[in-house]
A and B are shown apart, each in its own frame.
Chain A
Amino acid sequence: MTRSGAWPGMTAPDSAAVTLGVASLVSVVFTVTDGDPWQLVEMPARAVAIAVVLGVLACLGGLLERVLLVRAVGGAFLLAALVMFGELVFGTDWIGGAASTLSLWAGLGMGLLAAGLAPRDI
């Protein structure tokens, strides 16, 4: 197994998982921003909780080379994105985010699934 990821000593898929986990953790800063130009993603309190928990789990999955954990977190992000989509369709307030939250989590979910499903011999 080659260890040619962006993070030293890690495989590329595990580096990707850690990077996406860090991205989720960084995204919580937008909970303190308000409006243009700095509120890039809508991050109410429940969204922050989701982002922190899943972000930590993604980082752990990459650092500990736990492929199943990375896949599970990817699936969880996609489920969260689906819930956000349901909020937009039905006008409910389960999480309280916006389409920006949906877009971010859909991307993180797809990315983590891809990292979790990537061949380990690349």
Chain B
Amino acid sequence: MSQVANAASRSADATVTRRGGIAVVRVGVALLWIQNVAWKVPPDFGENSRGGLYNWTRWAVDREVFAPWAWFVEHVVLPNFVLFGWLTLMVETSLGAFLLIGLATRFWALVGFAQTIVITLSVLHAPNEWHWSYFLMLLTHVALFVTAAGRCYGIDGLLRPAWLRSASPVARLLVRVS
């Protein structure tokens, strides 16, 4: 009986360690987005000074990674740059906020993956960039998605039992995105 109890205790400890580790990764990725949204500064996001977000966006054209993306940036994004600056700010602010608390985490993991693709297609060939930074960002968002990281010490884990009991369309949606 004591062997069974010991095995159960070790299994419980392993679960706490696993879940805690997943939560640490989720919070770490949230802090990545939180820190890096600070330098996306309105009102012009660096367009007038040719610095900041504008500079980093221009690399997509000046050091092309993918021709269709370079065309899109040159002909759609840069002529409407302030709009895209605000869109970037709102997306990255939301990524930080939602991943920090682990709410609708699978959805925001997908958004983070997509935003990382956008960043990678813009700056992968920029000077002094380490390509593995962007590959690792992609991989960590995959990890957040496949582990449903918000269920580990996050709001998804807190509220999911209630969502599973509810028949409302919103609850059913939240079950799928958490």
* Of the residues B30, B42, B96, B158, contact of A88 by C-beta under 8 Å: B42
Complex formed: what's the CA distance from A13 to B158 in Å? 7
Question: Which B residues are in CB contact (< 8 Å) with A91?
Answer: 42-43
Cβ of B142 under 8 Å from chain A: no
Q: Which of B67-107 contact A (CB under 8 A)?
A: 89, 92-94, 96-98, 100-101, 103
* Of the residues B38, B155, B158, B162, contact of A100 by C-beta under 8 Å: B38
Q: How many B residues touch the partner, as a band?
A: 20 to 34
Question: Which B residues are in CB contact (< 8 Å) with A114?
Answer: 101, 103, 155, 158-159
B158: min CB distance to chain A, Å: 5
CB of B153 within 8 A of CB of A6, answer yes
A101: min CB distance to chain B, Å: 8
Question: Which A residues are in CB contact (< 8 Å) with B40?
Answer: 99
CB of A100 within 8 A of CB of B37, answer yes
- The dominant DSSP class at the A interface is helix
- The dominant DSSP class at the B interface is helix
CB of B96 within 8 A of CB of A107, answer yes
CB of B34 within 8 A of CB of A103, answer yes
Cβ of B31 under 8 Å from chain A: yes
Question: Which B residues are in CB contact (< 8 Å) with A6?
Answer: 153
Question: Which A residues are in CB contact (< 8 Å) with B42?
Answer: 88-89, 91
Cβ of B169 under 8 Å from chain A: no
Cβ of B17 under 8 Å from chain A: no
Cβ of B55 under 8 Å from chain A: no
Complex formed: what's the CA distance from A6 to B20 in Å? 10
Known: A20-B101, A41-B34, A41-B35. A102 touches B161 (CB 8 A): no
Q: Which of B131-161 contact A (CB under 8 A)?
A: 153, 155, 158-159, 161
Cβ of A40 under 8 Å from chain B: yes
A71: min CB distance to chain B, Å: 14
The chain B residue with its CB closest to the CB of A91 is B43
CB of B96 within 8 A of CB of A104, answer yes
What would be 21 A-B contacts, judged by CB atoms less than 8 Å apart?
A: A13-B158, A40-B34, A42-B38, A88-B89, A89-B42, A91-B43, A99-B40, A99-B89, A100-B35, A103-B92, A103-B94, A103-B96, A103-B100, A107-B97, A108-B100, A110-B101, A111-B103, A111-B155, A114-B155, A114-B158, A122-B158
Which B residues form the contact surface with A (CB < 8 A)? 30-31, 33-35, 37-38, 40-43, 89, 92-94, 96-98, 100-101, 103, 153, 155, 158-159, 161-162
Which 3 A-B residue pairs are closest in the complex by CB-CB distance? A107-B97, A111-B101, A103-B96
